[in-house]
Structure 1
Amino acid sequence: MTAIPLPTTVTGSGPGLLLAHGASGTIDSNFGSIIPTLAMTHTVVAPEYPAGDLPLALDDLADALVDAAVDAGVETCAMLGFSLGTTVAVRAATRHPERVRGLVLAAGFAKADNRIRLAMQTWQGLLGRGDTDTFARFTLATAFSPAYTNSLSAHVVADLVRDTAASVPGGTLQQSRLAETVDITADLPRVTVPTLVVNATEDLLVDPDNSRYLAAAIPGADYTEIRAGHVLMVEQPDRWRTTIEDFLLRPPHRGDGRNPHVQ
């Protein structure tokens, strides 16, 4: 049983696929658009991070996600991690190599750089004061690429600010503190499973160099780029979906370090 109880949904059938969402995200906001398709070929295990105020430790969170899969009857699985979820997925793979059989790491990082730390500290300051409106404006300004943000009407932007401010997920404050302090650099050379790193090349929250570092540090990792901001699933939903499907459905292999495929 899980040491940290996580609300978990299980959908589909076939090989296991365990999802790890990002800080301030949810399963629905990060993966909801692709779960129906993925569930056609996989048993998709989708845990939500804790919603309370207790501090999060990376080891405990990684263990809890793997336990959620096992509790659901999924003994082995690939993991799909987004943003902070990439650190959770990598730690799960190194702590539970008998359980985790592959990794997809999207818009991720190994250790917070100065820009990530400043962003997380800003989140903490705003949420600590209960200023969800300014939190929403800041997160939206960094979530999308400049081109995508500027393509939206002022009315749509105002609606996004209102909706985001009204629906900040529980646990966001603790997730931001984990994102600020996490460090999986020592884990990366120990990853032994097939891995795909997906870089959002217009990312304003997590600098794209972080994904390049992940791909270089994980032995044999495959690497691909999608021209989108941090929430690439919103800007490029079809390419986000097909990139994941193509990797999960092809025969197991280790990457060969070829040049990136830019989409």
Structure 2
Amino acid sequence: MTEHFSRTVRGSGPGLLLAHGGGGGVEANFGPILDGLARTRTAVGVDYPGSGATPRATGPLSLDELADELVRAGVDSGLEEFAVLGYSLGTAVAVRAATRHPERVTALVLTAGFARPDNRMRLACATWAGLLDGDRVLLARFLTLVATGRTRLASLTPEELEESVAALAAFVPPGTPEQVALVERVDTTAELASIRVPTLVVAATEDTLAPPELSRQLADGIPGAELVEIRCGHLVGAEAPDEWLRAIEEFLAK
């Protein structure tokens, strides 16, 4: 267990909790759309152990713990109920928050997510974990390859590509090993049918880390869920922030 999760609280209005991805953080994953979200809502996020200012965990992470800490941050911020926006691993955190705290969660937005990893994703996570103790540039090249959409990759000059790799190599949160290990263990499949709140699933059609088929499975498993597809890779916030923000805002405004 980690005693303190660092928090981000922005804006005012109806509550929106932010659940980030493995090896990421609130600012890293939601930064490009955070100002937009905060214009009409109180956006509250927590950094998982080993991300942001949250101390690294001393043992394996628990999906229950991440979901409970996120909900606690919302309540501590004065929110009685809230929608939850999950990205990647954060989609599983959002689903778990909805099933553990149904009296507080009013809607879900699940982006580039999964109920459980498929074999492609398991291989990617195993490679990611194996590269963490080695050459960080090699790790960044691998993550760029699997997390960046082909359209975005094709648009980069060789110089821009190297700059992107260097920036990613410099950003590896200390808690990445535990977070990636949790990604490999996630399975919320049995919980999907019990979700009774409006849900939007956002699939990234060029995502090879969490393939769009996994998002479609989420949408199929949650009663009444809507599905929106965006042409980009796993890094939705970096590649398609305007489309992502528009999809979120239109759904939550209903």
TM bucket by the smaller chain?
Answer: over 0.9
Q: Which amino acid aligns with 2:72?
A: D
Cα shift at 1:130: 3.5
- For structure 1, list consecutive stretches of 5 or more residues without a partner in the other structure: 251-263
SS for the counterpart of 2:32 is coil
Equivalent in the alignment of 2:210: 206
- For structure 2, list consecutive stretches of 5 or more residues without a partner in the other structure: 51-55
Cα shift at 1:35: 1.2
CA distance in 1, matches of 2:201, 2:39: 23
Tell me if the contact between 1:4 and 1:60 (Cα under 8 Å) persists in the aligned partners. no
Tell me if the contact between 1:189 and 1:217 (Cα under 8 Å) persists in the aligned partners. yes
Equivalent in the alignment of 2:53: none
User: Structure 2 length normalisation: TM-score?
Assistant: 0.94
Cα shift at 1:170: 2.3
Give runs of aligned pairs for residues 217-232 of structure 1, distance below 5 A: 217-232=221-236
Equivalent in the alignment of 2:17: 18
Aligned partner (choices 159, 183, 187) of residue 183 of structure 1: 187
Aligned partner (choices 100, 109, 131) of residue 104 of structure 1: 109
Equivalent in the alignment of 1:94: 99
Equivalent in the alignment of 1:241: 245
SS for the counterpart of 1:49 is coil
Q: Which amino acid aligns with 1:41?
A: T
Give runs of aligned pairs for residues 1-263 of structure 1, distance below 5 A: 4-51=3-50, 52-53=56-57, 54-127=59-132, 129-250=133-254
Q: Which amino acid aligns with 1:158?
A: E
SS for the counterpart of 1:103 is strand
Tell me if the contact between 2:12 and 2:41 (Cα under 8 Å) persists in the aligned partners. yes
Q: Which moved more, 1:15-24 or 1:50-59?
A: 50-59
Cα shift at 1:176: 0.4
Moved over 3 A (4+): none
What per-residue deviation string (whole Å, max 9, x for no partner) do you get for residues 153-195 of structure 1? 1111111111111121121111100000110001100111010
CA distance in 2, matches of 1:46, 1:162: 27
CA distance in 1, matches of 2:229, 2:168: 27
Q: CA RMSD in A?
A: 1.3
Cα shift at 1:99: 1.2
CA distance in 2, matches of 1:124, 1:229: 20
Q: Which amino acid aligns with 1:49?
A: Y
Q: Number of residue pairs matched?
A: 248
Tell me if the contact between 1:4 and 1:61 (Cα under 8 Å) persists in the aligned partners. no
CA distance in 2, matches of 1:178, 1:48: 15
SS for the counterpart of 1:10 is strand
